[in-house]
Structure 1
């Protein structure tokens, strides 16, 4: 477990952000690749480093003291309700973007994604950075610190492995230990309430639809075709480099008996490890993961990165239950598998 960066290291990182440089830092969800949200050229450096499409917006991270009205031209009561209930925490709010905020962070859209992370290192960095801004309202644009479409990093070592050239050139990586949530934040669209649309759950996460509805006193809707573009909303995303497929119970049992095994070496990621028949034992490895949805999510990306390094020909994942508690995990592994379909 990392002891965490010193106050001097956090100050150094805040100064680097102010100069328009990139800084990787931990949040409770995953590690982010950050830049000053109000320096368009710095934000473009994120896109270049990740290989991120220019039409894919990034999320702005703010300190707990941040004024939402600085970032959004219209802050609805529902935004303040959710912020009071879940911030600091793994929730991103999509709001109308204030006119003075450059549209680069929103990929040209009139909306903006805002989040206040709970990780103490993230909070220390955001506070130190904002303190150097007029009015103390600085924000850090930060998608996950990985190449676009790949598995998000949940450890500082993952970031260093993903961006060796940038690290060698001096990019700072603040080490805050393992991410405790392990998957990206829940995203809720509140940008269209004035048109009678929303709240809309655009990306499931650690905070589920039921908890959101309880805090709001109203249900949240499923994504619609006119919803703003947001991080992690593409069909194929969160993918390891090794081909990945999701297996139902019947297919899993057949493979465990050695029936229909694909060529090469495969590894089965499962929360209910089966007994392998002799015909399968030599060609199918088993990697057990927690049966609890929260612990499964926390370990998922680290497991996928570990298996990527072991030379398997494919990763086969046991399909989790189709229950609300597993919605975010099903979303992530479904998008990972979609990267190898067709």
Structure 2
């Protein structure tokens, strides 16, 4: 059985990491599944616990930039500028690594690795006390919605990992932006809360057109190749609020139960008797990004719900990250009038 630890038990969590065990940890984005990044045996247990494909590389979590410099080649001074501007925070940097610095189980066999310094005091202390960087993919069953609470972690991984360090709900809710700094110009491989617009305050040019890879390619970052974020029910994206009336008329004609995942404004306009399973995304794309994974997981509690109508947002700023996750959850399935 997995132990739930509190912020007063970080030393115990660090001891488990040192012993080669798996410990889920909180970040500002989602909960990560932690193991000693320098211990290939422990790292391989992460893949086993999650049921994760072995060519899907892991993000290495650090508590300071010196840990990165010990493992990676820093190709340009702008890397340090990005660290200064956005760390700790939801930005992951892909960098070329030094020879034999990390095992292939961490990198997916690539000569690059992904690094991030999470903005969570408990986890930064955990990494410091463990004395090693931690791999930290989302602490869930591979392909399912990412966990934003310790309860989500336990739902998927109870009995499969040693412990979860519980620091309450995460603050951002969608995973970090992944920026490939091993190429020129840099490329966003996964959108997140650090938007392209924010990156352009540091970098002269940033590309944002490489969020997927082909089936025969090894992805440089998580979320580029395999099915992600999917609940048990089918997800259909309603492109914008104006389309919801037509979508709901369609839903009421279906022979199966339909759930609504939408903002307060949309939900307030609907008959709760007809749509008894609803989940509020709040009132903006910010709250929607924070609540998206929680909402997708909510409907798994109600197996009678076979279809989820999910509200889309304009894909700009944080909406780019929200729509990236929602499209993966739905298989890019949009409602058509």
For the criterion TM > 0.5, the same-fold answer is yes
CA contact (8 A) 1:212 1:220 kept: no
142 and 322 in structure 1: CA distance in 2 versus 1, 3 angstrom threshold:
closer
CA contact (8 A) 1:273 1:286 kept: no
| Structure 2 equivalent of residue 87 of structure 1 | 87
Q: Does residue 1:261 correspond to 2:253, yes or no?
A: yes
Structure 2 CA distance for partners of 1:6 and 1:229, relative to 1, 3 Å:
closer
Aligned partner of 2:331 among 314, 317, 338: 338
How many Å apart are 1:77 and its aligned residue?
A: 1.4
Give runs of aligned pairs for residues 304-315 of structure 1, distance below 5 A. Answer: 304-311=296-303, 312-315=305-308
Asked if the contact 2:10–2:126 (Cα under 8 Å) also holds between the matched residues in 1, the reply is yes
Q: Could you say if the C-alpha distance between residues 283 and 6 of structure 1 is closer, same or farther in structure 2, counting changes exceeding 3 Å?
A: closer
Preserved CA contact (<8 Å) 2:57 2:219? no
Give, in angstroms, the shift of residue 181 of structure 1: 0.6
Shift of 1:276: 3.8
Residue 215 (str. 1) matches residue 202 (str. 2):
yes
Which residue in 2 is equivalent to 1:205?
Answer: 192
Structure 2: give runs of 5+ residues left out of the alignment. Answer: none
State the secondary structure of the residue aligned to 2:32. Answer: strand
Per-residue deviation at 1:258?
Answer: 5.4
Q: CA deviation at 1:324?
A: 2.7
| C-alpha distance in structure 1 between counterparts of 2:254 and 2:243, whole Å | 12
Distance in 2 of aligned mates of 1:284 and 1:173 = 33
Cα deviation, 1:201-223, whole Å, max 9, x if unaligned, reads 00000110000011223334422
Look up the SS of the partner of 2:247 in the other structure: helix
Partner residue of 2:274?
A: 282
Deviation at 1:185, TM superposition (A): 0.4
Q: State the Cα distance separating 1:260 from its structure 2 match.
A: 6.5
Q: Which runs of 5+ in 1 are unaligned?
A: 131-137
Q: For the residues of structure 1 that align with 2:54 and 2:24, how far apart are their CA atoms?
A: 20
8 Å CA contact 2:57, 2:220 repeated in 1? yes
Question: When the two structures are aligned, how many residues end up with a matched partner?
Answer: 322
Partner of 2:111: 110
Aligned-partner Cα distance in 1 for 2:295–2:307:
14
Residue 302 of structure 1: how far off its partner (Å): 1.1
**How far did 1:104 drift?**
1.6
What are the equivalent positions in structure 2 for 1:153-302 lying under 5 Å apart?
Answer: 153-166=147-160, 171-192=162-183, 197-223=184-210, 228-234=219-225, 236-249=227-240, 251-257=243-249, 261-271=253-263, 272-273=265-266, 275-276=269-270, 282=274, 285-302=277-294
Deviation sequence 1:102-125 (CA, Å, 0-9, x none): 222011000000000011111110
- What RMSD, in angstroms, separates the aligned Cα atoms of the two structures? 2.4
Residues in 1 aligned to 2:129 and 2:281: alpha-carbon distance in whole angstroms: 38
Candidates 144, 151, 156, aligned match of 1:150:
144
Q: Indicate the SS of the match to 1:69.
A: helix
Question: Partners in 1 of 2:294 and 2:145 — Cα distance?
Answer: 9
- The 2-side partners of 1:221 and 1:282 are apart by 41
Residue matched to 2:130 = 129
1: distance between equivalents of 2:69 and 2:251? 59
Contact persistence 1:93–1:113 (CA under 8 A): yes
Residue of structure 1 in register with 2:72 after alignment: 72
Alpha-carbon distance in 2 for matches of 1:338, 1:210: 27
Cα offsets for 1:228-259 (capped at 9, x unmatched): 52111126311112221112346521233457
| Residues 1:339 and 1:238: Cα distance change in structure 2 (over 3 Å) | farther
Whether the 8 Å CA contact 2:91–2:116 is kept in 1: the answer is: yes
